[in-house]
């Protein structure tokens, strides 16, 4: 392992998918299509990599027989990279990859306790069920499991598909702050949610992990993700959220994952948008150096 500034970590994990299959092909498809992404960003007035050293790690793989052991193997895979020495960008794979990432963060040199960490979750789904299809470590339970692990705060953005169980948890657990898609993206004449969200992001402090489920974007621009949902974020709304996070001088973004990338369609629109989101996150990180 060399002294890299930024590392791309492909994790083609897929064990608990509940609708469309194929997220295991997402990381490679995202990397492949990234060759078509323009690397100039106005924030940098330059092209990525801006003189920095980048590394794409060999993708994770495991032959472990149980779901929990698979997650443990993801921990071992990412642990050498999530140590404060380089900025990690993780590509998935189903959203279940987030739990082992958070478990590794518990040993990050820049935090003393997971209670200090805020997860900013861009997503169509709340992922707060206790079980999904009988499984506690599902993609649909991952935020609940992160809270169980000790994460202090969840800020959910773009939520628009959730269960009664999850609605009750959102209302009762003060660690969870949910910005529903309708409230921030609804009818313009009555919409005051977006400026309030932008203001809220400027008030976040401390270490952040950014988890971006690609279905947080509107289904029209990510049609082949695992569970596409209409009424989501536009591309520019997502860009503004990411830029707002990184320009907040009170936060330290420890890393990010982009997940639920399911390649498909003749034009590869879903993986191309995932690559654009990853590129924006990288550009914003560079802008803070």
Q: pLDDT tens digit string along 64-80?
A: 888 899 999 999 999 99
15, part of any domain: yes
Sign of the CA dihedral running 240, 229, 166, 253:
negative
Half-sphere exposure of 44 (CA within 13 A, CB side): 21
| For residues 142-162, average pLDDT | 97
pTM: 0.95
153, part of any domain: yes
Question: Nearest Cα to 234, choosing from 212, 256, 213, 219?
Answer: 219
256, part of any domain: yes
Which of the residue ranges 16-30, 181-195, 270-284 has the most confident prediction, judged by mean pLDDT? 270-284
- 171: which 2 tokens? 């209302």
CATH code at 122?
A: 3.40.800.10
179: pLDDT strictly greater than 60: yes
pLDDT of residue 16: 58
Q: Which domain holds residue 137?
A: 6-287
pLDDT band at 283 (very low <50, low <70, confident <90, very high): very high
* Contact between 204 and 250 (Cβ < 8 Å): yes
Write phi, then psi, for 262 (nearest 5 degrees).
Answer: -120, 100
Q: pLDDT tens digit string along 30-44?
A: 999 999 999 999 999
pLDDT of residue 41: 96
**In the chain, % of residues over pLDDT 70:** 95
Q: pLDDT tens digit string along 97-136?
A: 999 999 999 999 999 999 999 999 999 999 999 987 777 8
Minimum mean pLDDT range among 14-18, 116-120, 260-264: 14-18
| For residues 186-212, average pLDDT | 88
1, part of any domain: no
Specify the number of domains making up the chain. 1
Half-sphere exposure of 112 (CA within 13 A, CB side): 1
């Amino acid at each position: 392992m060399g002294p890299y500034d930024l590392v791309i970590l492909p994790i083609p994990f897929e064990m608990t998918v509940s609708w469309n299959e194929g997220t295991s092909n997402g990381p490679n498809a995202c990397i492949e299509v990234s060759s078509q992404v323009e690397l100039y960003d106005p924030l940098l007035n330059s092209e990525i990599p801006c003189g920095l050293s980048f590394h794409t790690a060999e993708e994770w793989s495991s032959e472990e027989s149980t779901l929990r052991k698979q997650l443990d193997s993801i921990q071992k895979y990412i642990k050498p990279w999530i140590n404060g020495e380089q900025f990690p960008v993780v590509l998935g794979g189903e959203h279940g990859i987030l739990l082992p990432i958070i478990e590794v963060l518990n040993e990050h040199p820049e935090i003393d306790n997971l209670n200090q960490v805020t997860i900013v979750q861009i997503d169509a789904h709340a992922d707060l069920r206790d079980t999904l299809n009988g499984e506690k470590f599902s993609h649909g339970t991952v935020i609940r499991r992160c809270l169980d692990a000790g994460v202090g705060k969840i800020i959910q953005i773009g939520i628009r598909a959730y269960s009664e169980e999850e609605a009750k948890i959102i209302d009762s657990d003060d660690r969870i702050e949910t910005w529903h898609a309708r409230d921030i993206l609804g009818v313009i004449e009555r919409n005051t949610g977006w400026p309030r969200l932008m203001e809220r992001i400027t008030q976040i402090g401390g270490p952040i992990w950014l988890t971006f489920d690609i279905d947080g974007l509107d289904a029209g621009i990510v049609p082949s993700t695992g569970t596409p949902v209409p009424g989501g974020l536009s591309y520019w709304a997502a860009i503004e959220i990411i830029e707002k996070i990184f320009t907040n001088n009170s936060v330290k973004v420890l890393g990010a994952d982009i997940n639920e990338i399911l390649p498909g369609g003749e034009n590869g629109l879903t993986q191309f948008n995932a690559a654009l989101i990853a590129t924006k996150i990288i550009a914003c990180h560079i802008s803070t150096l």
